[in-house]
Amino acid sequence: MLTIGKLGQAAGVKVPTIRYYEQIGLLPEAERSAGNQRLYSRKALDRLTFVRHARELGFTLDAIRDLLSLSDNPDQPCAAADAIAKAQLAEIEKRLARLASLKVELNRMVAQCAGGRIADCRVIEVLSNHSLCATDHRHPQAGNDH
């Protein structure tokens, strides 16, 4: 059995994050020692490692919740899990496309500025006026990365 600190180290997750996951019901309530400290089994470590890896791949906690409960039913068909992964892939692709067009515009802005006064700054100018942009980078609904 591991304490929360050891578990965190082993999984690469900070201690408060583990407690947070328990609080929101993503992880089951941990067993407690006589002195009320949380104790974790190896299985709990696997679960947390799964969570961490899915987070690193950008899945939301809600998606991870679903993935966890799917992975608890090994005999079920995996279509639901695949659908979640595909949705995540689509989301990532959407963000990639958006970021790519932002990059184009930012590059243009920065490259076109000659470095004079604010009054002549291309950065300020473009920010004031979208019609100076080359692409339609406009906000087709994004999510958050991290």
Residue ranges in contact with DNA by CB under 7 A: 3-6, 8, 14-17, 19-20, 30, 32-38, 55, 60-62, 144, 146
26 DSSP 8-state letter: S
109 binds, among DNA, its own copies, Zn ion, none (CB under 5 to 8 A by kind): its own copies
**Length reported for the chain:** 146
13 vs 44: CA distance, rounded Å: 13
CA distances from 84 to 40, 54, 68, 109 (A): 28, 11, 12, 38
Q: Is 37 in the site for its own copies (CB under 8 A)?
A: no
CB neighbour burial string for 69-81, b if at least 16 within 10 angstroms, e if fewer: ebeeeeeeeeeee
Task: Tell me the per-residue interface mask from 75 to 104 with Zn ion, x by CB under 5 A, - otherwise.
Answer: ---x---x----------------------
Q: Is 41 in the site for its own copies (CB under 8 A)?
A: no
For residue 32, give the H/E element and its range: strand 31-32
Give the residues lining the site for its own copies (CB under 8 A): 46, 49-50, 53-54, 56-58, 67, 70-71, 73-79, 81-82, 84-86, 88-89, 92-93, 95-96, 98-100, 102-103, 105-107, 109-110, 113, 115-121, 123-124, 127-130, 137-139, 142-146
